[in-house]
Structure 1
Amino acid sequence: MNHTQNGTAPVLEVRNLGIDFWVDGEWVSAARGIDYTLNPGDVLAIVGESGSGKSTSSMGVLGLLPGNGRATGSAKLSGEELIGASPAKLRKIRGKGISVIFQEPMTALNPVYTIGFQIVEALQIHNPNMHKVEATKRALELLKQVEMPDPQKAFDSFPHQLSGGQRQRAMIAQSMSNDPKLLIADEPTTALDVTVQAEILDLMRRLHTELDSAIVLITHDMGVVADLADQVIVMKDGAVVEHGSIIDIFNAPKHPYTQALLAAVPHLGTTVTDTAEVKERIESENVLHLKDLVIEYPKRGRVPAFRAVDGVDLDIRRGEVVGLVGESGSGKSTIGRAAIGLLPVHSGELEVAGHNMAGIGKGELLKTRREIGIVFQDPGSSLNPRIPVGESIAEPLLLSGGHTKAEMTQRVTELLDAVELPRAMRNRYPHELSGGQRQRIGIARALALRPKFLVADEPTSALDVSVQARVLTLFQDLQKDLGFGCLFITHDLAVVDQLADRIAVMNHGKLVEVGTRDQILRNPQDPYTQKLLSAVPVPDPEEQRQRREARQAARGQ
């Protein structure tokens, strides 16, 4: 992937880069001693957990730090110093010399302007003599270049009218509009389905090859690193702990932290099924029963009614974990929301812990929810920011009634112990905790009433790989101890390989395949399941290259 020729000048030279923040009357270091050189066509992956300094150091190169931040050292773009450069100079460089693909395009794109307007604006800012007609033509070419399904429709659409994958393509088109020398991709595929992620990675690989741009890839997904990078920097606590080629880092990591990071990555095909345990679970009582289930979103104004779930049959037994997988819009979260009474049943059967959820009354629903728990994808938005987390854990007990204050205090203590958090943490607020700690609080809250059935809706997708590994291990231990049945909703097939007894695959509201973990992941029968599995990036550069070539050959590329 490295296109560098002998004698070619580096695109970016970073020497002794440091990032500091002014806090409580002193400078506090967030990153220090960062050194690397990027040549045309190079892809450098910077990896590490949240708070390691990987994004902050890259934003510091561009001068995109908060008012209390500063960058020190040196960062030269084609020999031109960026550290200490004037705001006017940096504005000229941003978008033309260096472009950024942000993690969440919905927050990076302006919601009140069309996609076309925003790309045209980026073109005209850096090319003042370009006429609007010419800029419009170029914008449509860019949307076609990033393989947007309908370039003209996307050009006229607002960000909210596009899917996540389409928004990411639009952001890539905007970032590539002025043929930048360097592209900074900050977690560009974290929130995407595996099939869309594979398409975006193929697109980035093709575009950077055509433009001979260098890429700084900031991520915690080691499968993405294996797929795209030439060299890797591993960061921890603001410092570089290891720097090497992609082959060296994956095949012979030297630093204990790099070794631990790679060991924590879930890998398809590494889990051995205990058939005796599975048989015991399958013979236990049902905690979820779906029969020909149909869920529709009703017509609203000019928006027609939409059938999100169409004729689904599924049973989950007590003590069993069933992974429900599929792309965004497949209907998997809709089933989870209906199972806890947040969406009405249009037709068919939906029973949870022996309660019929179709047409259920408020009184019975309240009783039913005492036997149901849910862990949300983003605990930061599901926990009340105004109350300490101990009160959030106790809230289900308070609402269900029949518990004294002493009993609730004791139960909160038990739950904090169960999710391996210090008891003193009960007095902290959600914003004072890390993402992994908040997710543990979310799990504790969901288990407060000792539910028979638990819905886990993408509970680890936003977590760093090492934090994810610890949360999944904790989840497995709690599930074995408490014996609840679980619907685990995710698009990460490596996670369900580690966690699930059975797997159900959804596509466009229908269940296309159900089977044991081994049946679905080792011998899938449905073409859609096969497509999902082929798109999963694996943390092995050679294996990932072979998978990518096989996928491209199947598409006739």
Structure 2
Amino acid sequence: MNETQAGTAPVLEVRDLGIDFWVEGEWVSAARGINYTLHPGDVLAIVGESGSGKSTSSMGVLGLLPGNGRASGSAKLDGSELIGASPAKLRKVRGKGISVIFQEPMTALNPVYTIGYQIMEALQIHNPTMHKAEAATRALELLAQVEMPDPKKAFDSFPHQLSGGQRQRAMIAQSMSNDPKLLIADEPTTALDVTVQAEILDLMRRLHTDMGSAIVLITHDMGVVADLADQVIVMKDGAVVEHGKVADVFREAQHPYTQALLASVPHLGTASSDETSKAKRLENENVLHMKDLVIEYPKRGRVPAFRAVDGIDLDIRKGEVVGLVGESGSGKTTIGRAAIGLLPVHSGDLEVAGRKMSGVSRGDLRSVRRDIGIVFQDPGSSLNPRIPVGESIAEPLLLAGGFGRKEMNQRVEELLDAVELPRSMRNRYPHELSGGQRQRIGIARALALKPKLLVADEPTSALDVSVQARVLELFQDLQRDLGFGCLFVTHDLAVVDQLADRIAVMHKGKLVEIGTRDQILRDPQDPYTQRLISAVPVPDPDEQRARREARSAAKGE
């Protein structure tokens, strides 16, 4: 609790909260024995891996459980009990007493209504006497308050017309519209670039300070916890294993699970350097070559042509990992898509494994793709939900042709061994696997044809830190054993620090800086790279506070 809030009445008191689900004829516990008290201005972080019960327990407080779920215990908002409350009472609480900032605003915002309409709707539901013009004025004020670049334009825009950071700002504006006493922020920055994430965290800090709202922050990002929270609850398998002040938990975690969680967090500056193997790789042949590469999205109707990538020079050698970093819209994913033949080259040179990709025929492209593998960001959506994962792994072999059934089965089993999954898992469907297991299947599929070049597009961004650590270790082992060159597209600089030999920094379609990992991360020359690195949250409250103050001083705040 903040010292300034000492002696004030609590906003929320949770006692012995439990969540159960009716599954196959019996009640199964998803969370149990949760206790905490929040005062105005408090920020409580609830952390843990997927399935730990952190989101479920918070949604249970608001009665937002599926039909087979139930909540027990007590959760009092301003002394009024919410557990077991009537639907009518909970409707009055939701959006006014307690608001939620959801993880993915694109799915939480209604795609058929404008941003302005949705904020006005939230205002008028809880303020029936508010006129439309008054609601519109207030909505524009809220968009300005969350520092939307162009509030009027955003007001008239649909969700798909805004960037990820702008959509998150719109959702925060909507959640703050009725001056709630408590904000539940469910992974509010997971999919955002580090600079946008830093802006959103600064925004949430200012808003909760100005309004005195308490915040429950649900996250698996320990850097975000260090940046924003006062106290932290660590959950595992539905139970609270540790609860204390953030500084105390980060400095001297008591539970082995908390210690393992903190140890799993990638941290800038902790990676070691292998100069011998690096010098050896410089002698290898190129598996990817770009020279003055330009990629444009063609004109469509009234929408003019857009140059997404402009004049890129980049080489990747066999056995080398090159990290491609930058904000959303910088062009990094466009380069990855062009490398695997999904986007045409407008001008310049693009070669994969010694073969030109510009003007390549369909037949030749199919041949080139035997040398390319891709690991997608979200394996849940890239794996076919209707076929077992073993068939997904075998699919590239089937499409390439030349493999008998016995040979394909043997190769699938070899790949499952390589990604450290049991061979019996080949008969499971994607929904039966965890996020980390699905990502391992995605890696196995990408390596099926023993590619010379692997394109990895944000392969760990949606994973819990401990799962991410295991997947990155596996990735390093496979890359070392198989010797493929890799273009690793990401916005997570700590992950790049762990994996990459060289780093290329993209900004607005141009390559602004490229060099070894040490050159880019320890001594960046371009102001954009410096800003990118300074925005990375670190899992240390003291260090994060110092970085935040330095950033504010640089802005002249």
TM-score (norm 2): 0.99
* Structure 2 CA distance for aligned equivalents of residues 434 and 14 of structure 1: 30
Query: Whole-Å Cα distance in 2 between the matches of residues 333 and 218 of structure 1?
Result: 28
CA RMSD of aligned residues (A): 0.7
1:330 equivalent in structure 2: 330
Counterpart CA distance in 2 for 1:90 and 1:140 is 27
Q: Which residue of 2 aligns with 1:73?
A: 73
**1:266-293 C-alpha deviation (Å, 9 max, x unpaired):** 0000012111111111111100000000
Q: 1:64 offset after TM fit, Å?
A: 0.2
1:39 corresponds in structure 2 to 39
C-alpha distance in structure 1 between counterparts of 2:271 and 2:23, whole Å: 46
The CA distance in 1 between the partners of 2:401 and 2:139, in whole Å, is: 59
Pair 1:51-2:46 in alignment: no
What SS does structure 2 have at the residue aligned with 1:244?
strand
Determine the structure 1 residue equivalent to 2:302. Answer: 302
Match runs of 1:30-179 below 5 Å = 30-179=30-179
Q: Say which SS state the counterpart of residue 311 (structure 1) adopts.
A: strand
Whether 2:556 is the aligned partner of 1:556: answer yes
Deviation at 1:7, TM superposition (A): 2.4
SS at match of 1:273: coil
Return the letter of the residue paired with 1:284.
N
Cα distance per residue 1:413-433 (max 9 Å; x no partner): 110000000100000011111
SS in 1 for 2:188: coil
Gaps of 5+ in 1: none
Contact 2:5-2:41 within 8 A present in 1 as well: no
Which whole-Å deviations, capped at 9, do the CAs of 1:281-315 have from their partners, x for residues lacking one? 11111000000000000000111100000000000
Q: Hey, what does 1:227 align to over in structure 2?
A: 227
Partner of 1:483: 483
Deviation track 1:394-419 (CA, whole Å, cap 9, x = no partner) reads: 11111111111111111111100000
SS in 1 for 2:291: strand
Shift, 1:5, TM fit: 3.2
User: Aligned to 1:390, what secondary structure does the other structure show?
Assistant: helix
Structure 2 runs not aligned, ≥5 long:
none
C-alpha contact 2:63 2:83 (8 A) present in aligned 1: yes
Superimposed CA distance per residue, residues 485-513 of structure 1 (whole angstroms, 9 cap, x where no aligned partner): 00000000000000000000000110000
Specify the code of the residue in structure 2 equivalent to 1:372. Answer: I
CA distance in 2, matches of 1:472, 1:287: 22
User: SS in structure 2 opposite 1:190?
Assistant: coil
Q: Work out whether residues 4 and 42 of structure 1, in 8 Å CA contact, stay in contact via their aligned partners in 2.
A: no
SS of 2:351's equivalent? strand
Runs (4+) of structure 1 exceeding 3 A deviation are 3-6
- More moved, 5-14 vs 103-112: 5-14
Q: Which residue of 2 aligns with 1:196?
A: 196
Aligned amino acid, residue 45 of structure 2: A
State the partner residue of 1:493. 493
CA distance in 2, matches of 1:504, 1:15: 50
> Residue type matched to 2:218 in 1?
I
In 2, the alpha carbon distance for the partners of 1:259 and 1:108 equals: 34
Alpha-carbon distance in structure 2 between the residues aligned to 1:6 and 1:144: 32
For residues 61 and 3 of structure 1, what CA distance do their matches in structure 2 show? 26
Structure 1 distance, partners of 2:3, 2:306, is 49
- Partners of 2:326 and 2:507 within 8 A in 1: yes
Identity %: 85
Mapped partners of 1:303, 1:532: distance in 2: 31
| TM-score normalised according to structure 1 size | 0.99
What residue in structure 1 maps to residue 464 of structure 2?
A: 464
Secondary structure of 1:512 counterpart? strand
Cα distance between partner residues in 2 of 1:495 and 1:137: 43
Residue deviations 1:142-170 (CA, integer Å, cap 9, x gap): 11110111111111111111111111001
| Distance in structure 1 (CA, Å) of the matches to 2:489 and 2:444 | 18
Residue in structure 1 matched with residue 430 of structure 2 by the alignment: 430
> What is the CA-CA distance between 1:4 and the residue it aligns to?
4.3
Question: What CA distance in whole angstroms lies between the structure 2 residues aligned with 1:504 and 1:7?
Answer: 52
Paired residues of 1:388 and 1:428 also in contact (CA < 8 A): yes
Q: CA deviation at 1:128?
A: 1.1
8 Å contact kept, 1:3–1:40: no
Q: Does the aligned pair in 2 maintain the 1:60–1:70 contact within 8 Å?
A: yes
Q: Say whether 1:360 aligns with 2:376.
A: no
Q: How does 1:144-293 map to 2 (within 5 A)?
A: 144-293=144-293
Give the 3-state SS of the residue equivalent to 1:448 in structure 2: coil
Deviation at 1:6, TM superposition (A): 3.4
Mapping for residues 495-534 of structure 1, pairs under 5 Å? 495-534=495-534
- Describe the superposition over 1:458-489 as per-residue Cα deviations: whole angstroms up to 9, x where unpaired: 00001000000000000000000000000000
Give the Cα separation in 2 of the matches to 1:7 and 1:191: 38
The residue type paired with residue 310 of structure 1 is: D
After the TM superposition, which of the residue ranges 1-10 and 333-342 deviates more from structure 2? 1-10
Contact in 1 for aligned 2:321/2:485 (Cα 8 Å) = yes
**Separation in 2 of the partners of 1:388 and 1:101?**
35
